[in-house]
Chains A and B, each alone.
Chain A
Amino acid sequence: MSLTVSVPARAGSRIELRRLLRALLPTLSLALVVTAIAWLNPRAISYFGFTLMLNLAIPIALATLAQMFVIACNDLDLSIGTFVGFVCCVSATWLHDMPLLGALVLLGCIALYALMGAIIHARNLPSIVVTLGMSFVWQGAAILVLPKPGGAAPGWLHATMSVKPPVVPFPILAAIVIALVAHVLLMRTSYGAILRGAGGNPVAVQRAGWSLLRAKAALFALTGLFGVLSGMALVGITTAADANIGNGYTLLSIAGVILGGGEFVGGRVSPVGAVIGALTMAMAASPLLTFLRIPPDWQVAANGAILVIVLAARVLISQKGTAR
């Protein structure tokens, strides 16, 4: 990714340029992946091609947003993958057979997430350890709900996920809508600013009279909500579930947030960036690697490598910009 730019005379504008480059990095990465795919297989760039390639992008984008809300308050959710898997299993069984019970269970999960956030805050616990423990709980619960791969997605869910709008492929349309909703929620509402403040400067938020406990619970509840949506979207696409179906989403979601310009600390996250990051990961995760003829054994490694490369690019770009 070498960009030839004329070096501005003043240091100030150079910092501006770096900042701009940094802000554009998510879009640039996505453009790079799309260009690579177009170059490797021109026929993939079509309505049908995008619908296929971005098939799984919606659940990945939703899971990434879920992760983003936790990262906004300086925490990390290592259980999001197994949680998405659990939601898939519930959606493919209870939500299909007994819609009311299924809906109640899923709402209960969101409440549980809020409770987890409250406990993490109240007892000042490390979120990594708590969510790592919870990942076992979700995995076990998923196995209990659906011991063998199977089940059936509710008809309405499957119908929603296979809508074919004119001109713009459904995944792209859905991604735009999801990004806008999350953007308005976190960046444009006054409570969204409080929520980001809880990660950026908790002391200031508390002194201003806001409850940090409530903010953290709200952010975790949002994670639960988007996790539930992600699982439902996933099962709507695959039409059946498996207890291990979401396991890869933990890395994908963290990678998506970071690709999208999020920071691990300081409440600096970007919903639009996160969705772009998720689309990049979704396309880089398998279509690109398949076109590059990378054997399946090495696709996991390629995912890890992509993450490292993007982080390296970011360090190169922002190194001097932030140091001064």
Chain B
Amino acid sequence: MRVVLAQATARPWLWSFVGAAVVWLAAAAYTGGTGAGGMLTAALSLAVFTVIVGVGQMFVITLGPGNVDLSLPANIGLASAVAMKTMDGQDSLVVLGLLAALGCGLAVGVANYVLIRALRIPPIIATLSASFVIQSVDISYGRGLQIKPPPGFADFTNIIVAGVPLLAVLTVVFTIGANIALHRAIYGRSVLAIGQNIRAAYLAGVKVEPIRFATYALCGALGGLDGALLAGYFRGANVDIGNEYLLSSIAVVVIGGTSVAGGKANLPGVWGGALFLVLLLTMLNTFGVSAGVRLVLTGLIIVAVIAAAGGPKATR
């Protein structure tokens, strides 16, 4: 028991998986075990979208206090519209559409960085202001947009092999790659160094500004990719398609054991946090609570988990 506890304290992200398991068991117990497997499959499918933007948000948050990308929801919404318009319902244009969505997200990320750097405004305000501009562009660009995704693309995002969604497998591969980039590559080490002490990192020769630029661009691009995938999975683009990812992208990062003060990141935790959030919603839906109660409980549980995890001073 003591060994288990010691391991858990050494790896705070384990808690997010424990939380996910508890929530899943509670939901399964309520239904008497029926549909427990299906619940897990559905949770994996949905968690993918949170993980993709969560990874981007994690790199941004790791840059240090105040770094956060609030433009993700608007970014996802716009990219989903761009992807659907470019694909135009034809399977032959899928790759082009994905590239267009990636490019659109990348442009948003670059714009965010330009605002932060040129105007020296805190990232929170820069990305918030940007998100309002992007939202307007999306409303105006995507007005009355009712293009369905190409059937091949829609099927691809919904492939499930032996209860495991293909997208989830691909995302796990992507997360492993991101984990290597974080801990073994110069890029990731630089991000961590900047988050720990930006001045020390600068003096040690870390190229601070290019790394920050790359991080915001990466986060934007991941948001764009997520928008395209979401549009495929839900079979259509929508201005509000990314709305829930404002809170969830930040929440999974924090729940997963990444420090909001920066300089300490955790990738497995993003998966744990995402599964926890999705299963939490599944559980509340299984209990049949109303929309209002669901919102209140989601908010309260997230605040409670974050309060229990504590900030940089509380944990040691």
Query: Which of the candidate stretches A41-49, A95-103, A300-308 sits at the interface with the other chain?
Result: A300-308
Chain B residues with CB under 8 A of A124: 310-314
Which residue on B lies nearest to A295, using beta carbons? B140
Cβ B140 vs Cβ A298 within 8 A: yes
- Any A CB within 8 A of the CB of B152: no
- Any B CB within 8 A of the CB of A311: yes
Closest CB-CB distance, A143 to chain B, in whole Å?
4
Complex Cα spacing A234 to B307, Å = 32
Chain A residues with CB under 8 A of B261: 126
Contact with B along A300-324 (1 / 0, CB 8 A): 1111110110011001000000000
- Any A CB within 8 A of the CB of B125: yes
- Any B CB within 8 A of the CB of A110: no
The SS class assigned to the A binding surface is helix
Which residue on A lies nearest to B130, using beta carbons? A304
Complex Cα spacing A130 to B304, Å = 9
Cβ A307 vs Cβ B295 within 8 A: no
Which of B115, B124, B290 is in CB contact (< 8 Å) with A128?
B124
Closest CB-CB distance, B264 to chain A, in whole Å?
13
Known: A129-B260, A304-B132. A297 touches B139 (CB 8 A): yes
Which of A137, A251, A299 is in CB contact (< 8 Å) with B303?
A137
Q: How large is the interface on A (under 10, 10 to 19, 20 to 34, 35 or more residues)?
A: 35 or more
Complex Cα spacing A305 to B137, Å = 13
Chain A residues with CB under 8 A of B282: none
- Any A CB within 8 A of the CB of B179: no
Cβ B135 vs Cβ A301 within 8 A: yes
- Any B CB within 8 A of the CB of A135: yes
Chain B residues with CB under 8 A of A312: 118-119
Known: A123-B314, A124-B313. A133 touches B306 (CB 8 A): yes
Which of B120, B296, B300, B314 is in CB contact (< 8 Å) with A315?
B120
Contact with B along A124-154 (1 / 0, CB 8 A): 1110111011111111111110010000000
Cβ B307 vs Cβ A119 within 8 A: yes
Chain B residues with CB under 8 A of A73: none
Cβ B291 vs Cβ A140 within 8 A: yes
Query: Which of the candidate stretches B37-45, B215-223, B246-254 sits at the interface with the other chain?
Result: B246-254
Q: How large is the interface on B (under 10, 10 to 19, 20 to 34, 35 or more residues)?
A: 35 or more
Complex Cα spacing A175 to B295, Å = 34
Cβ A311 vs Cβ B133 within 8 A: no
Cβ A133 vs Cβ B314 within 8 A: no
Chain B residues with CB under 8 A of A130: 303, 306-307
Cβ B140 vs Cβ A136 within 8 A: no
Chain A residues with CB under 8 A of B296: 136-137, 140-141, 144
Cβ A133 vs Cβ B312 within 8 A: no
Contact with A along B236-266 (1 / 0, CB 8 A): 0000000000110011001000001100000
- Any B CB within 8 A of the CB of A254: yes
Cβ A303 vs Cβ B314 within 8 A: no
Closest CB-CB distance, B60 to chain A, in whole Å?
12
Cβ A132 vs Cβ B250 within 8 A: yes
Closest CB-CB distance, A153 to chain B, in whole Å?
22
- Any A CB within 8 A of the CB of B68: yes
Cβ B311 vs Cβ A140 within 8 A: no
Within 8 A of B (CB), among A30-85: 76
Contact with A along B288-316 (1 / 0, CB 8 A): 00111111111110110011001111100
Chain B residues with CB under 8 A of A140: 291-299
Which residue on B lies nearest to A131, using beta carbons? B303
Which residue on A lies nearest to B296, using beta carbons? A140
- Any B CB within 8 A of the CB of A258: yes
Cβ B125 vs Cβ A254 within 8 A: yes
Closest CB-CB distance, B61 to chain A, in whole Å?
9
- Any A CB within 8 A of the CB of B128: yes
- Beyond the given pairs A124-B313, A301-B137, A311-B119, 12 more chain A to chain B contacts, judged by CB atoms under 8 angstroms and listed by A's residue number, are A126-B260, A129-B250, A133-B251, A134-B303, A136-B247, A136-B302, A137-B303, A140-B291, A140-B295, A144-B290, A302-B136, A303-B132
- List, sorted by A's number, 10 A–B pairs whose CB atoms are closer than 8 Å: A123-B314, A133-B251, A138-B299, A140-B292, A140-B294, A144-B293, A298-B140, A300-B135, A304-B132, A304-B136
What 5 pairs across the A-B complex have the smallest Cβ distances?
A140-B295, A136-B299, A124-B311, A301-B136, A304-B132
Interface residues of A (CB under 8 A from B): 76, 119, 123-126, 128-130, 132-144, 147, 251, 254, 258, 264, 295, 297-305, 307-308, 311-312, 315
